Chains A and B, each alone.
Chain A
Amino acid sequence: MSTLSDPPKGSFRLSMLLNDTRYRSMTLQVIAAVILALALAYLYSNLAANLRAAGLNISFSFLGSAAGYDINQTLIEYTSQSSNLRAAIVGILNTLLVAVLACVTATFFGVIAGVLRLSNNWLVRKLMAFYVEIFRNIPVLIWIIIIFTIMTAVMPSPRDFRGDDPASTMLLDLFAFTNRGVYVPGPYFTRGLGGEDGSTLNWLLVIATLVGSFFAARYASARANRIQEATGVRPKTLWSNLAIWIVPVSVLCLILGLSWDIPALKGFNFSGGLKVGGPLIALWFALSIYTGAFIAENVRAGILAVSKGQTEAAAALGLRPRRVMSLVVLPQALRVIIPPLISHYLNITKNSSLAIAVGYADITATLGGITLNQTGRAIECVLLLMAFYLIISLLISAGMNVYNSTMKLKER
């Protein structure tokens, strides 16, 4: 009888490699590994042969040599004599600048449109649905080009601002919208630390003050919570919060002598103030309204995902509508809204590479565009470009994973 329950002790046959589940996965993996190795070796040998034929080699030394081209919008100091590496860093900063700006405004548009799509007002609801459908179904590249065309072909040229009876005038005498860019008043410090070159230091000081205010405001709110827990009455925090945010920064600005540089027409062009170039505005605004349409759908879905019973239960507990929103609905809706929101931020960062279509000097246009064409280092440039975007998106998705694990429903 015992022989019946024993497994057959047959000797190992070759066909068992494919038919026996004990060995099959091993066989398939070995085959896959061999195919992968062969494919990589084939690609590498082609690459080596092609490079030898073209007399090239893989080298990153071009990063140190002078770039030799100008960039019209830079956040850090840059001349055509700076290195290619510095041009790439200028590009990275420009990418991050437009990405951050677009993320903020896209969230703004998206939240407003998403909430208004749920409005009681029929007309507003329909208009917002129209906005969402129009912008979601037309490529973002077309939007970028349209807004760039508005910026360059419709805006008046600086010449139109001259004369006694000019064709166009500055908005509030502060902002000038021209086809060379938008000129806005630029802040600067008359009594700043570190003299002429110390402006970065002064701005860091301002930011440090704001960070300090943030922690002070958090402390104040924690204190209010403690008092509420102890006595049941929440002290009024509105005025103290306003003071915490406004007073230190205003005092600092007074000490440093904050002043505004108003753009003015000098000769053929505006000077003074901050110039925001047409390409930046086109990219910023197009990415914002395009992604805003997607975010609007997320926001709507998130709010609809909170079941009506939650709102009713909160109302039955006697919470005011505002507290219902902030304590019950929003925390649950945000759990649905935020993960896709972050992936939309990632999309904005990746779509900002379309800057190359309108000549905004982001990393794709500097490293992947002009540097690549001037040095002919295609492989190195494209690899660096991909590495940059890969690092950014891995960082963002790592952040998202951390957020998801802290926010996910705690099931017990």
Chain B
Amino acid sequence: MSDTHAQSVAFVRESAIPQQPAPASAVGPVKWLRENLFATVPNAVLTIFSLYVLYFVLSSTLPWILNGVWDANSLAECREILQGTSGACFAVLTERWPQLIFGFKYPSTEYWRPALAFAFMLLAIAPVLFFDLPRKLLVFTILFPFVAYWLIWGGTIWISIFAMAGFAAAYVVYSRLVGQNFALGFFGGVAAAVIVWIIASYVVPAIAPEQPLLEAVPSRDLGGYMLNMMLGITCVSLSIPLGIALALGRQSSMPLIKWICVVFIEFVRGVPLITLLFVASVMLAYFFPPEQTVDLFLRVVIMITMFSAAYIAEVIRGGLAALPKGQYEAADSLGLDYAQAMRLIILPQALKISIPGIVNVAVGLFKDTTLVSVISMFDIIGMIRGPILASTDWNGVYWELLGFACLVFFVVCYSISQYSQWLERRLATDHR
């Protein structure tokens, strides 16, 4: 066979050709470029256009940033240093740093107090965010609100101690009675706390020292980014329990309770936050007893908490609705009562489903704390637009200050959303 074949065909290859490397256009960076940037003609046009936009933005901002002046006492001094070249005047950030962070009225000798409270906050929040940390750290989380209150506002420490005592009494009564009945334990706990606080309202003024260890700072002296942080953290942590209660109330089979919750949620969600802040600043005072003045910070906290609680309630309602009905029925068939079923079976699952939504609300709420500048509280925006830009030294330094505000909000909000994505992956127990 091979002979005849050899006669009819000029050449027969008897071994494989050695393997060749792929053509240069089909491997490595060239291939990546061709596939991802220049696949088709419109795609290439889009790439070139984007590159141009990128170049335009970077070429106009980068020299300005890199050429920035960090050490000067006024805009005029900055301009002198720059001598006509384009450059940022970041000196405003270094010179007005305490004002941006703490506001312009907080006593400058006491800056260490909020700073320490911030450090404690990081410690207190860590075991809540990361479950792998030792559970004993949660003790610190429980103590944190009282310590932070004392550090930031100063004054007598007895207020914090009695506030804590109230919660402790509530916990003791609750854990005694909860075996009998959840409702009994709950209301008993509330009653115990209220009793302790009523006693405290008579005792504290009597035993408060004339010269407290930490100088008292009134709420209206708080300001800067600290105010945004405080409003954000307080309102988010208060509105999650309230939101859970509202969501459960909205699902309730009792018509009266259901309608109270529905009306509250729909009303709050229907109006902008700014009108609620107007309520806090001009209207809420009419609803408190005439002889009592409630400070603006507390009024704003009440309104923002109500606002975010309504949104969180809707998110959690979504989580409750997403649970299969079998979970409710399984809880019933195990003989659990309503409170046990909710605590042990329904809420852990519903809250897990709601985490992304709750985080969205929290991020939105933190961004919305800037709105308090409209009702003349001096948060970071209020500081920038008010005392700093109005001063003769720094009149006209817009971009450095606004850029700084953008940066601090971006860092916090972006990290929160990244954390929530991590948490979602972490909590994913279903098999996919």
Q: Are A124 and B385 in contact (CB under 8 A)?
A: no
Contacts of A134 in B (CB 8 A): 410
Interface status of B43 (Cβ within 8 A of chain A): yes
Identify B409's interface contact among A139, A350, A393, CB under 8 A. A139
Q: Are A145 and B367 in contact (CB under 8 A)?
A: no
**A19/B381 contact (C-beta < 8 A), A36-B260, A121-B43, A382-B283 known:** no
The minimal Cβ–Cβ distance linking A376 to chain B, given in whole angstroms, is: 9
Bound together, the chains give a CA A78 to CA B54 distance in angstroms of 46
Most chain B Cβ neighbours within 10 Å, of A53, A121, A350: A121
**A138/B271 contact (C-beta < 8 A), A47-B287, A120-B43, A127-B50 known:** no
Look across to chain B and name the residue whose beta carbon is closest to the beta carbon of A393: B270
Identify B370's interface contact among A53, A119, A141, CB under 8 A. A141
Q: Are A364 and B274 in contact (CB under 8 A)?
A: yes
Interface status of B141 (Cβ within 8 A of chain A): no
Contacts of B271 in A (CB 8 A): 350, 385-386, 389-390, 393
Contacts of A379 in B (CB 8 A): 283, 286
Bound together, the chains give a CA A140 to CA B254 distance in angstroms of 40
**A138/B275 contact (C-beta < 8 A), A123-B47, A378-B283, A390-B270 known:** no
Contacts of B256 in A (CB 8 A): 29, 32-33
Interface status of B116 (Cβ within 8 A of chain A): no
Contacts of B46 in A (CB 8 A): 119, 121, 123-124
Interface status of A174 (Cβ within 8 A of chain B): no
Within 8 A of B (CB), among A304-354: 350-351, 353-354
Q: Are A378 and B275 in contact (CB under 8 A)?
A: no
Interface status of A142 (Cβ within 8 A of chain B): yes
Bound together, the chains give a CA A141 to CA B405 distance in angstroms of 11
The minimal Cβ–Cβ distance linking B8 to chain A, given in whole angstroms, is: 47
Bound together, the chains give a CA A18 to CA B184 distance in angstroms of 9
Identify A145's interface contact among B253, B272, B381, CB under 8 A. B381
Bound together, the chains give a CA A165 to CA B251 distance in angstroms of 71
Interface status of A160 (Cβ within 8 A of chain B): no
Bound together, the chains give a CA A394 to CA B269 distance in angstroms of 10
Q: Are B282 and A372 in contact (CB under 8 A)?
A: yes
Interface status of A57 (Cβ within 8 A of chain B): no
**A46/B50 contact (C-beta < 8 A), A36-B260, A354-B371, A382-B279 known:** no
Contacts of A378 in B (CB 8 A): 278, 282-283, 286
Interface status of A149 (Cβ within 8 A of chain B): yes
Q: Mark A126-149, 1 if CB is under 8 A from B, else 0.
A: 010000011011111110011001
**A18/B274 contact (C-beta < 8 A), A28-B254, A138-B413 known:** no
Within 8 A of B (CB), among A364-412: 364, 368, 372, 378-379, 382, 385-386, 389-390, 393-394
The minimal Cβ–Cβ distance linking A39 to chain B, given in whole angstroms, is: 10
Look across to chain B and name the residue whose beta carbon is closest to the beta carbon of A130: B54
**A137/B51 contact (C-beta < 8 A), A120-B36, A364-B275, A385-B278 known:** no
**Majority secondary structure of chain B interface residues (helix, strand, loop or mixed):** helix
Bound together, the chains give a CA A354 to CA B373 distance in angstroms of 11
Identify A357's interface contact among B37, B282, B374, CB under 8 A. B374
Contacts of A36 in B (CB 8 A): 260
Bound together, the chains give a CA A385 to CA B409 distance in angstroms of 30
Contacts of B373 in A (CB 8 A): 141, 357
Q: Are A122 and B37 in contact (CB under 8 A)?
A: yes
Interface status of A51 (Cβ within 8 A of chain B): yes
**A141/B402 contact (C-beta < 8 A), A18-B183, A32-B260, A393-B270 known:** no
Interface status of A199 (Cβ within 8 A of chain B): no
Bound together, the chains give a CA A140 to CA B35 distance in angstroms of 37
Contacts of A47 in B (CB 8 A): 286-287
Look across to chain B and name the residue whose beta carbon is closest to the beta carbon of A396: B270
Within 8 A of B (CB), among A31-54: 32-33, 36, 43, 46-47, 49-51, 53
Identify B257's interface contact among A32, A124, A145, A350, CB under 8 A. A32
The minimal Cβ–Cβ distance linking B392 to chain A, given in whole angstroms, is: 17
**A139/B368 contact (C-beta < 8 A), A46-B289, A124-B46 known:** yes
**A133/B267 contact (C-beta < 8 A), A142-B370, A356-B274 known:** no
Contacts of B269 in A (CB 8 A): 393
Bound together, the chains give a CA A232 to CA B370 distance in angstroms of 61
Interface status of B285 (Cβ within 8 A of chain A): yes
Interface status of A153 (Cβ within 8 A of chain B): yes
Bound together, the chains give a CA A293 to CA B286 distance in angstroms of 40
Q: Are A382 and B402 in contact (CB under 8 A)?
A: no
The minimal Cβ–Cβ distance linking A375 to chain B, given in whole angstroms, is: 12
Interface status of B70 (Cβ within 8 A of chain A): no
Contacts of A137 in B (CB 8 A): 363, 367, 409-410, 413-414, 417
Look across to chain B and name the residue whose beta carbon is closest to the beta carbon of A19: B181
Q: Contacts A49-B289, A51-B286, A351-B272 known; list 7 others, CB within 8 Å.
A: A33-B256, A138-B409, A142-B406, A350-B273, A364-B275, A372-B278, A393-B270
B-side residues, CB < 8 A to A, are 35-37, 39, 43, 46-47, 50-51, 53-54, 181, 183-184, 253-257, 260, 266-267, 269-275, 278-279, 282-283, 285-290, 363, 367-368, 370-371, 373-374, 381, 385, 396, 398, 402, 405-406, 409-410, 413-414, 417
A-side residues, CB < 8 A to B, are 18-19, 25, 28-29, 32-33, 36, 43, 46-47, 49-51, 53, 119-124, 127, 133-134, 136-142, 145-146, 149, 153, 350-351, 353-354, 356-357, 364, 368, 372, 378-379, 382, 385-386, 389-390, 393-394
The 7 A-B residue pairs whose C-beta atoms are closest, nearest first, are A122-B36, A137-B413, A350-B272, A139-B367, A378-B282, A393-B270, A353-B272
15 contacts between A and B (CB under 8 A): A18-B181, A18-B184, A29-B254, A29-B256, A47-B286, A119-B43, A120-B35, A120-B43, A121-B50, A123-B50, A127-B54, A141-B371, A153-B396, A364-B274, A382-B279
